[in-house]
Every structure is written in structure tokens, then in C-alpha cells.
Amino acid sequence: MSDSASALKGDRFIAYCTLLPSALILLLLVAIPTVLVAILSTQEVGLGEHSGPFVGLSNFIDVLTSDTFYRALVNTIIWVFGSVGLDMLIGTAIALLLSKTFFGRGIARAIVLAPYLIPTVVAVLIWKYMFHDIVGVLNYLLLKVGLIEKPLLWLTSANTAMLSVILVGAWKFFPFVVLALLGILQAIPQEQYEAAKIDGASAWQQFVKITLPHVLPVFLLTAMLRTIWTFHKFDIIYLLTGGGPLDSTTTLPVLVYQKAFVDFETGNAAAIAIVTGVILAFLLGIYFVLIKLAEDKQ
Amino acid sequence: MNKQLTSTFSGSPRSEAGADALFGEGAIAKFQRLSNRAMIYMLALTMVTVVGFPLFWMVISSFKLPNEMYLFPPNFLPAEWTLQNYSDLFTQTSFGLYFLNSLIVSVGATSLSLVIGGLGAYSISRFRFFGIAGFSRITMLCYMLPEVLIVIPLYIYVVELGMADTLFALIIGNTAFTLPLTLWYMKSYFNAIPASLEESAMIDGCTRLQAFRKITLPLALPGLIATGMFSFNHAWNEFLFALVFTSSESNKVLSLGLATWIGQDNIYSWGMLMASAVLVAIPVMLFYLLVQRKLVTGLADGGAKG
């Protein structure tokens, strides 16, 4: 009895000792900074200073009544819907294709996953070269096929910049959807399809009655996860366009960076960061509810 | 095209009966199967071409001579294959230094996370003391937080602690994300290793630490390697902290260094940029080949945030 009690005590000691460093690091690097952002968002912080007098909600009022914020909010919504929509569409189609067995599938899968594995800066370098106004291969190919009549200024025109950024984002991140869906597609028992075939079900009927119900929960969770990650994506947009031209690709994370480290309006930047965080918390809430629903269903 | 053919054949019973009479029983089914196969190969080929073309273009362009990079219409294969872009990278730019800096930061953040997070994950997985379950949920939340939310206070830390423009600041900054990643992923890995193995070792006289070291740790090694790779990949990719925390040429990591080269055509030719892209992509592609199976399941579980 006393033996097991002392063993328990020893275990408790080990448990808290091993968790302490992790807890401390997360406290210092994540928890306290999150609180600090909230505090900064209520301060008027001058140039080169790291805190300032309390000004209540005036930073939030400044931000929420400014055109730049709304512009960035609308841009973020377009960016998220465009990228996630394309991710899901292409990802689902390719997952369905890769779930079939065919010669060379392993290589095909490796090529399809590659964009997701390469660093963002690599993807940006490649596409910057392909988008190039004068020597870009993309304009050349599209001109040749006849899809466009004159070269497009992909990243340097306010009309096409967002579209270009969305295209690169979709190319880079759709493989995540393939991975997520491929796993679940391959887990569907094949007997169900064979039974359906014997009963004379068409390919479309098999898809609607067997594939869809199996895949739907994972599909929704994946879409939500992609929405969350796409929403706070900074590097790919910043590296491709820097938020321009004419702010046409400035999303909320890019705006936070610009306000904080280019305009040095730390208070306003913190307020935008908090608004971004609140929207994200809302999205995360939906995600966790979806996970709960999916678990309950099982 | 193929689809059209099959549907005309299978859609009308009369033609099917006619064809059966002509070619014998089962000919239609066979034809349908064949054209289905053809469809799959056509789609697969299209997919691989469209998705793979940018990668192909990167590799091909990196072997072209500078004057060929600016040809329009472009050559699809180099007129003359050259390694000049690669040698220029190392002789004329700080690419080697950036590469080394990226290695230091990625290895630093990964080892820190593996040691601290690996131990923590073990305790989260094995013990049910007060606060542990709650802490486990918080780590998941930390992992989902955006960098942009905490970058401002972290920058203030870095400046006030005199760590501005150091690689050390980047190692610490990256740990904010690689540590929760390690905790979260290794917890499920430890969960999959039966606790009964340690318990029987402890009955045989091992202490818990001995049991952990001799039994659990070796079993967890593949998980540690996979987690280490995700963590390395995250740090290798990281850009925002690098942009904000570091500035001097000697402390630039690859993501920041290459970003500053874009648009300076006169100094850094597209050939050099493509060659650097190839070299930066190689480590992660190698990882993929090494741990393909593990990686695929791990990535699908959210092992790489992005």
C-alpha cells in the first residue's frame, strides 16, 4: 500500500517535472503574448515605444471605421473562399482519381503531393517566374492555346493579382485535401460497391449512396481546417505581391504586418490582430463542434 | 471522347445487342472496361502534367544559361545544359550562409521541441493527474493560433531582451509552434504504445524512468523521427518571424534571403533563383522519400500546418 502510494507520488513528481518546461514555454511564447496583444490594442503606442497610455477602445474604433480595414476584410473573404473552394474542388477530384488503382499511381501521388511539401518561398519563386510579364511561360502557353489575346500582368495588375494569388495558393495547398480524402476513400469497404453493382446501381448512384456518406464528415472537417489555415496565411500573399498592387491583395494578416512593422502603428495593428483572432476563434469553434458531431456519429 | 463512346454503346440496348451479336457475349463489357481504363490514364496524365509543370519548369530553368532565361517564346528544354546557375549561387551570393542559418534554426527548434515536448507528451499520454487533460487541450489550441497574433509582443520581447537580429530569437520563436506540434503528435504516438509493456518492466524491478528509457523510447523512435521532420519542415518554411526578427545579411535564413532576391533581376538572375528553389526544396523532398508512408498519414492528421 505505502509502496504504491510512494510510486504514485513519484509518478506525480515525474509528470509535473516533465510537463513544466513545456508549460513554461507555452506560457511565455503563446499565452502571455496573446494577453499582451489584447493590452496593446487598448494603448496608444508611439513610434519606437513598446507600450503607451491607455486609450480604451479608440484603436478598435479607428480600425473598424477605416476603409483599409474593410478592404482587407473583403480581400480576406475573397482569398479564403477562392482558395478553399479551389482546394476542395481539385482535391476531391484528384483524391477520387487516385483512389483507383492504375499503373504508376505511386509516382502520380508523389507528384501531386510535391507542391504541399515544398517550402512556400520555393512555390513563390517558381510562380513569380511563370507569371513574369515579359518572359513568363504562363502567358506564352495561354496565348498559344488562344485563351488570352494579349499577355496578362498577373501579379502587377490590381484586376488579376488576387486571382493569381488564389491560383498559387490552390496549387500549393490542394494536396492536403487529397491526403485527407484519400485516407477515408481507401477505408470504404469494397464489398459495399460490389453489392451495389450486383443490385444494378449505376456509378453515380454508388457515388451518392456509398461514397458520399462515408466521405462527408471528413470533407467538412477538411474544408473547415483549410478555411482556418487559409484565413491566417501570411507568407504566400506577402511574398507574391506584398499586399499590392493598390492594396488589392492586402488581407488581414498582411494588414497587421504593415500596420505594425511598416507604419509603426502598434496599437492599431494589435487591434486588427485581436479582431483577426476573434474571427479565428469563431471559425475554430465551428471546427470543434464539427469534430464533436463527427465523433458522436461514430 | 471515350465516355461518349461508351455511353452510346451501353445507353441503347439495341446497339448493345447488335454488338454482342457481332463480337460475341461480353465484348461490350470488355470494351467498357477498357475505355474506363483509358479515361483514368488520360485524367491521370492531365493531372500530373498540370500539377507537375511548375516543378518541371523550375528544374529545367535552373539548368539554362542566363541568356536563355529571357527568351520569348521560351525553350522547353535548355539548348545547352549548364550548372553555371548552381556554381554562381555559391560563388557570388550568400546562399551557402542562408542555407547554414536555416539549418541552425530548424535543427535548433526541432531538437528543443523534441526533448521538451517528447517528455511532456509522454506524461500527457500516461498520467491522469490534475490539470494534465486541460493542458493537453490547450496545446492543440496553441498549435492553431496564427503567428500574426503573437508576432507583435514576441518582437517586443526580442528587442527588449537584446535578441534582435539573432538566430537564437528565431529558434525560440519557431518553438512557439513546433513545441505544441510535438506535444500533440507525440501524445497520440505514445498512446499507441501499450502502457502494459512498461508496467511489466516495472514489475520486473525497473523504475519508471528506466522503463521509459529502455522500453518506450525505442518504440517511440519512429514517431519522434516523423514528428521531428514535421517540426523541421515548419521551421525551414517559416517566414514572418524571420522577416520581423532578423535584418542583417549574416543572419538571414533561406526564406527571408530568397525573398529579398526576388525582383533584383540585375543581380540575381532567374536562373539562379530557380537553382536556389531546387536546392531549398531538396531537403524536404528527401524527407518525403525517406518516410513516405508515415508522412502521408501524419500530414493528413494535420502534421504540417499550412
Which has the higher per-residue pLDDT, B8 or B72? B72
* Residues of A whose CB is below 8 A from B139: 22, 26
- Read off the CATH number of the domain in which A208 is found: 1.10.3720.10
Q: Which of residues 82-121 of B touch A (CB under 8 A)?
A: 116-117, 119-120
Confidence of residue B306 (pLDDT cuts 50, 70, 90): low
Residue B192 lies in a domain: yes
Q: Within this chain, do residues B157 and B238 fall inside the same structural domain, yes or no?
A: yes
Structurally, chain A folds into a number of domains equal to 1
- Cα angle B155, B161, B163; round to 5: 70
pLDDT at A185: 87
Tell me if the bond preceding B74 is cis, omega within 30° of 0. Answer: no
Of B62, B79, B110, which marks where a domain is finished? B62
Judge whether A289 and A283 are in contact, CB under 8 Å. Answer: no
pLDDT in tens, B9-39: 333 334 444 455 555 557 777 888 888 888 8
Residue A263 is given by DSSP the state S
Residue of B36, B51, B269 to mutate when probing chain A, most A C-beta within 10 A = B51
Q: Within this chain, do residues B99 and B48 fall inside the same structural domain, yes or no?
A: no
Collapsed DSSP state (helix, strand, coil) of residue A111: helix
Residue B72 lies in a domain: no
Q: Within this chain, do residues B37 and B123 fall inside the same structural domain, yes or no?
A: no
Judge whether B115 and B175 are in contact, CB under 8 Å. Answer: no
pLDDT at B24: 59
Look at B24-38, B169-183, B189-203 and tell me which has the smallest mean pLDDT.
B24-38
Structurally, chain B folds into a number of domains equal to 2
A286-293 mean pLDDT: 89
- Computed over every residue of chain B, the mean pLDDT equals 84
B246-265 mean pLDDT: 89
Residue A268 lies in a domain: yes
* Residues of A whose CB is below 8 A from B58: 122, 125-126, 129
Domain that holds residue B47: 2-62
Distance from CA of B22 to the nearest CA of A (A): 25
pLDDT in tens, A152-192: 888 988 889 999 999 999 999 999 999 889 888 888 888 88
| pTM given for the model | 0.87
Q: Which of A115, A226, A131, A95 is nearest to A171 (CA)?
A: A115
Judge whether B241 and B146 are in contact, CB under 8 Å. Answer: no
The complex's ipTM? 0.90
Residues B103-135: b if buried by 16+ CB within 10 A, e if exposed: bbbbbbbbebbbebbbbbbbbbbbbeeeebeeb
Residue of A29, A206, A231 to mutate when probing chain B, most B C-beta within 10 A = A29
Query: Taking 90 as the threshold, does the pLDDT of residue A1 lie above it?
Result: no
Residue A168 lies in a domain: yes
Percent composition of chain A: helix, strand, coil (DSSP 3-state, to 5): 75, 0, 25
- Nearest-angstrom CA–CA distance, A115 and B172: 28
pLDDT at B189: 87
Please judge whether B146 and A280 are an interchain contact, meaning their C-beta atoms are less than 8 angstroms apart.
yes
Residue A204 lies in a domain: yes
> Residue B66: how many CB atoms within 10 A of its CB?
14
- Read off the CATH number of the domain in which B191 is found: 1.10.3720.10
pLDDT in tens, A15-74: 899 999 999 999 999 999 999 999 999 998 877 778 888 888 999 998 999 999 999 999
Distance from CA of A15 to the nearest CA of B (A): 5
* Residues of B whose CB is below 8 A from A229: 305-306
Residue A21 touches partner B, C-beta closer than 8 Å: yes
Residue B284 lies in a domain: yes
pLDDT at A3: 62
Residue B186 lies in a domain: yes
Q: Within this chain, do residues B218 and B287 fall inside the same structural domain, yes or no?
A: yes
Q: Within this chain, do residues B184 and B246 fall inside the same structural domain, yes or no?
A: yes
Residue of B70, B95, B138, B148 to mutate when probing chain A, most A C-beta within 10 A = B148
Domain that holds residue A292: 68-297
Q: Within this chain, do residues B134 and B249 fall inside the same structural domain, yes or no?
A: yes
Residue B74 is given by DSSP the state P
Judge whether A162 and A248 are in contact, CB under 8 Å. Answer: yes
pLDDT in tens, A190-245: 888 888 888 888 888 888 888 888 889 889 999 999 999 999 999 999 999 998 78
Q: Within this chain, do residues B135 and B231 fall inside the same structural domain, yes or no?
A: yes
Tell me if the bond preceding A115 is cis, omega within 30° of 0. Answer: no
Radius of gyration of chain B (CA): 27
Residue B76 lies in a domain: no
pLDDT at B32: 80
